[in-house]
Amino acid sequence: MDSTPIIQEAVRILREGGVILYPTDTVWGIGCDATNEKAVARVFEIKRRSEAKSLVLLACDLDMVARHVKTIPSIAIDLVEVNDAPMTIIYPGAQYLAPNAVAEDGSVGIRIPLVPEEEEEEAPRKAAPKGNLTAGAFCRELVRRLRHPLVSTSANISGEPTPGSFAEISEEIKAAVDYVVPKPFGNGATGRSSQIIKLGLGGEVEILRP
């Protein structure tokens, strides 16, 4: 299946303030433009989750991360370059994001979706990736075209089990979003949540979830 029209439609809906159901390199997620406050509020509403709880965002690369945090601790660059498993990094000093996408302490959790090495090597030669991309590659291209970080929260009602596959997502969630990405692009999703590491400006590292 050609990914181009799927990504184009998803981006169109996201830019209009819509909410999508899509695969990530970890689990299926509910997402929206992380700079759109009303769209972020809808995500909380769909999940029946308090806005006091923070969200994870996806970025396509470190350049996008740098645009949305005031300072990237140097250790973050090393972590992103060497990690071989999905990793969410909580950065201090979020900026240019919807207020409800940022934690109460001003930090924000951002993950760059993990892409298999072979797709990573091919990406620079492809202006518009096609074919049945893995979930990580699909997400990166989606975020790259959106040009804003993408909210990524598990596709379940708050308090209920996180679905490990598309088949486990409730019909209520599917009906509540504006667009559902076709299942073939879920290949490569682990069905497990990412590591979470919180960084401080002074080089402090706190592992919140191994």
pLDDT value of position 50: 86
pLDDT value of position 182: 84
**Which residue do the tokens 């299942």 mark?**
183
CA angle 101, 31, 24 (to 5 degrees): 115
pLDDT value of position 127: 45
pLDDT value of position 1: 64
Domain extents in the chain: 3-209
Counted residue by residue, the chain has a size of: 210
pLDDT, tens only, 102-124: 999 999 999 999 886 655 544 44
Which helix (H) or strand (E) is 7 found in, with range? helix 3-15
pLDDT value of position 119: 56
The tens place of each residue's pLDDT in the chain, 210 residues long, gives 678 899 999 999 999 999 999 999 899 999 999 999 999 999 999 999 988 788 999 999 999 999 999 988 888 888 888 878 889 999 999 999 999 999 999 999 999 998 866 555 444 444 445 556 788 899 999 999 999 999 999 999 999 999 878 889 999 999 999 999 987 665 656 677 788 989 887 778 888 887
The proportion of the chain whose per-residue pLDDT surpasses 90, expressed as a percent, equals: 59
d(CA 32, CA 167) in angstroms, rounded, equals 22
Task: Reply yes or no on domain 3-209 having CATH 3.30.1330.10.
Answer: no
d(CA 165, CA 152) in angstroms, rounded, equals 15
